[in-house]
Amino acid sequence: MNAAVELVARFGVLRLLGHLFPLDHVGFSFVRPTEYSAAGDDLASLQLVEPTLGNLGGVGRLGDLPLAVITHGQPFPGPFFILEKGWSEGQTRLAALSTNSLLIRANNSNHMIQIDEPGLVVDAIRRVHAAARNNVEFVRDGIS
């Protein structure tokens, strides 16, 4: 399939489709054959990831440095759904790297949280900055 997509891209079919159905509103678009090829390679590589990589451990600790982890609330679309297995646990482990962390769920987003819920991202950045600037624990006000 990757070869077929790359072939029609070489003849401009995908560029035409990109103009008819622009994806710029979600922060990306594919117009060159190499972009489709790279995306196809990325998808194929997901099948090659060893299950043991999900249990690495030993990645270190951040002490009490402020850390906000924003995770998606909607499943990843299409073939990226394969990433759902273990995602939530991984996000929880990531947040646990600091004793001063927030795990924030973006209920209306999947992968493009900064596009779907920019206010949530801005708020998380402000909260991390304030906690670091004032050297204090996060104020937990029901966000998560």
Domain range list for the chain: 2-48, 53-134
Q: How far apart are CA 8 and CA 67, in angstroms?
A: 44
- What pLDDT score does 142 carry? 47
Q: What is the pLDDT of residue 81?
A: 81
Neighbours of 100 (CB within 10 A): 18
Q: What is the pLDDT along the chain (144 residues), one digit of tens a residue?
A: 556 656 666 666 666 666 665 554 444 555 566 666 676 677 677 677 666 555 555 557 888 999 999 999 998 877 778 888 888 999 999 999 999 999 999 999 988 899 899 999 999 999 999 999 998 887 665 444
Question: Is the pTM of the predicted complex or chain greater than 0.75?
Answer: no
Q: For residue 37, which phi and psi values (nearest 5 degrees)?
A: -60, -45
CB-based contacts of 8-17 (< 8 A; 24+ apart in sequence) = 9/33, 9/36
How many whole angstroms from its chain centre is CA 20? Answer: 27
